[in-house]
Amino acid sequence: MPEAYGAPEAHGAPVPPGGRRRGVGSLAALGGIVGYLVCVELTSGIVQGYYEPLLSDIARHLGIHDADVNWFEASQLLLSAIAVPVLAKLGDVVGYRRVLLWTTAVTALGAWGVALAPSFWTYLVAWTLMGTYTVWLPLEIALIHHRARRRPDARGLTRKASGVIVAALQAGVIFGALVAGQLGDGLGGDRIWMTLSVPALAVTAVFFVVLRKVPESPDVAGGRVDAGGAVLLSAALLAVGVGLLGLRLDGPDAWWVWLLVAVGLALLWPFARYELRQDDPLVDLRVVARPSLWPVLVTSGLFGVSVLGAQGPLSTFARTDPDAYGYGLGASAFTVSLLIGGYVVASLAGALTFARVSERTTPRLALVGATVLVALGYLLFLPFHDATGQVLANMVVAGLGSGALVAALPAAAAAAAPRERTAVATGLTNTTRTLGGSFASAVFALALASGATTTLDGDVGTAGSLRGYMVVWAVCGVTGLVAAALLLVVPRLAFADTAATAAAAGTTDRRTDRPEDHA
């Protein structure tokens, strides 16, 4: 197969007379793998978008408060934060396709558990297991980067392929949200399990796609998984995560909550010292400390506040009845699915256009612009949240930036990392994002539960407070602005393919075009 990895033209070798060289950045150079990974991310999108319009229905089905919906996200994000670094490193060691297959099986098990769970706690366990899907995108981008790495345009090709599979993810979110909205209105009540079976069927199908169609990494790095580092990091993340969950249970006055968080943060010190002594660490902190990588990881954490922590509150705000509480949209599940669809269409556009914007400017500048869009979108909620059109417009602005960041951050991490650390670097963007989402989810749950939650008639209500929603939107906006400022620390030509490419784009800067920027 001439387009496959290993063919001469894929390595940038001369094409024989009469042959045809594909254009720089053509996804055909990667063979058919992008198409199969599109199927995987389409399913990932279904999983991510399907449940959002149904959160209020699920809360009523389980007999819980709207604010308790955040428990699902918090527990899933905690598992993701712990599992993704280990699974990503395992991908570098044994192969990305193999780990992708394993995690698809676990996600399918969790999805079927969600569909059939009879109680809050069984639902919580099943939902948590589904969190293993969060390693799919880092593994896929690592696989793409490895197959493209010998091409002179490897970084641009990785960005373009990342944009395509993230666009598929967003399309899956749209499809999932629309289908959930339709089925949620028609199959509610005792038949909600039928509605919740749809994503389980999708994940089961994609398991066989990975099993039969996705090829393994062309050159597995080998090595071992740093068990000591995995234990220390898992203990630190578990302590912090449980502390944040406890923050919801007993509030900020509980001393044990802060003790657990302090213990978790303190464990990062022996973890760092241990990792620096290892020849093959779980997390190479020297690589993380590169000026082209650490701002990307911090940005990913700040981005997690909005992209993961704010989605539940947006759904429950839209479902809140303004006639009863004086705020909210009083939207049906189908209307919420349309709002989510608008957000995701904008995210899809942001994912597809990021590579082109990066070519015309620089990848760093495109990242800064994306974070500013996220910040602007959420800050607009503060004055404009009384009508469906206002909420949709705000979500579209934030969605443009969010889609670009979902595609760009793992690709940027892959470009900044050594070959044998590709999956770990891309996985760290996911880990920091889930940590940011976990923290935000805990804080937002407290914010929504605070203040008056009575109806206009004086009855006790189950909706979150308006003051809490204001806190959510303000925090998301401010973290976006902070991320934009941090990205200015990244060298100007970081993540560009070559100095020649940068010069051709009119972006050469002798002060910052250093070898390490293109390593």
Q: How many domains does the chain fold into?
A: 2
One domain for residues 234 and 348: no
219 plus 115 within the same structural domain:
yes
Confidence (pLDDT) at 356: 85
pLDDT at 365 over 70: yes
What is the spatial distance between Cα 245 and Cα 428, in angstroms, rounded to a whole number?
22
Residue-level pLDDT at 319: 84
In 3-state terms, what secondary structure has residue 278? coil
Asked, for residue 472, whether it belongs to a domain, the answer is: yes
C-alpha 12: how far from chain center: 33
> Does a structural domain hold residue 470?
yes
What is the share, in percent, of the chain residues with pLDDT greater than 70? 81
Q: Is residue 14 in a domain?
A: no
Last residue of a domain, one of 260, 277, 294: 277
Instruction: Specify whether 248 is located in the same domain as 395.
Output: no
Let me know whether 259 and 283 are in one domain: no
> Picking from 205-209, 319-323, 436-440, 492-496, which range would have the lowest pLDDT averaged per residue?
492-496
- Same domain for 263 and 147: no
Q: Same structural domain for residues 156 and 193? A: yes
Helices (H), 320-421: 322-325, 333-360, 363-379, 388-416
Average pLDDT taken over every residue of the chain:
79
pLDDT band with cut points at 50, 70 and 90 for residue 60 = confident
| Lookup: tokens for 186 | 């028609």
Same-domain check for residues 265 and 390: no
Parent domain of 258? 227-277
**Does residue 8 belong to any structural domain of this protein?**
no
CATH code for the domain of 487: 1.20.1250.20
Residue (of 433, 434, 443, 436) closest to 469 by Cα position: 443
What average pLDDT does this structure show over 251-277? 89
pLDDT band at 4, cuts 50/70/90?
Answer: very low
Per DSSP, the residues of 410-445 read: HHHHHHHS-GGGHHHHHHHHHHHHHHHHHHHHHHHH
CA distance 471 to 381: 11
What percentage of the chain reaches a pLDDT higher than 90?
21
For residue 3, tell me if it sits in a domain. no
Report yes or no on 5 lying in a domain. no
How many Å separate Cα 345 from the centre of its chain?
Answer: 16
Question: Are 60 and 147 in the same domain?
Answer: yes
* The pLDDT of residue 333: 73
CA 228 vs. chain centroid, Å, equals 27
Q: Do residues 417 and 495 share a domain? A: yes
Residue 9, domain member (yes or no): no
Nearest C-alpha neighbor of 220 from the set 103, 154, 139, 285 = 139
Of residues 314, 320, 358, the one with CA closest to residue 340 = 314
Residue 167 inside a domain? The answer is yes
Question: Distances in Å between the alpha carbon of 324 and those of 21, 330, 501?
Answer: 65, 9, 59
Q: How confident is the model at residue 56 (pLDDT cuts 50, 70, 90)?
A: confident
pLDDT score at 425 = 83
pLDDT band at 31; cut points 50, 70, 90? low
What is the pLDDT, as a whole number, of residue 21? 39
Per-residue pLDDT reduced to its tens digit, 229-248: 889 988 998 888 888 777 76
**Which residue, of 277, 307, 340, is where some domain finishes?**
277
Picking from 242, 277, 312, the residue at the C-terminal end of a domain is 277
Tokens of 78: 């905690």
pLDDT of residue 14: 39
Residue type (1 letter), 507: T
Calculate mean pLDDT across residues 279-285: 83
Q: What is the pLDDT of residue 190?
A: 64
Are 293 and 208 part of one and the same domain? yes
Answer yes or no: do 217 and 145 share one domain: yes
Q: For residues 239 and 233, what is the distance between their CA atoms, to the nearest angstrom?
A: 10
Residues 284 and 233 in one domain: no
In single-letter form, the type of residue at position 262 comes to A
Confidence label for 269 from pLDDT (cuts 50, 70 and 90): very high
Residue 407: is its pLDDT beyond 90? no
User: Averaging pLDDT over each range in 57-66, 152-161, 262-271, which range is the top one?
Assistant: 262-271
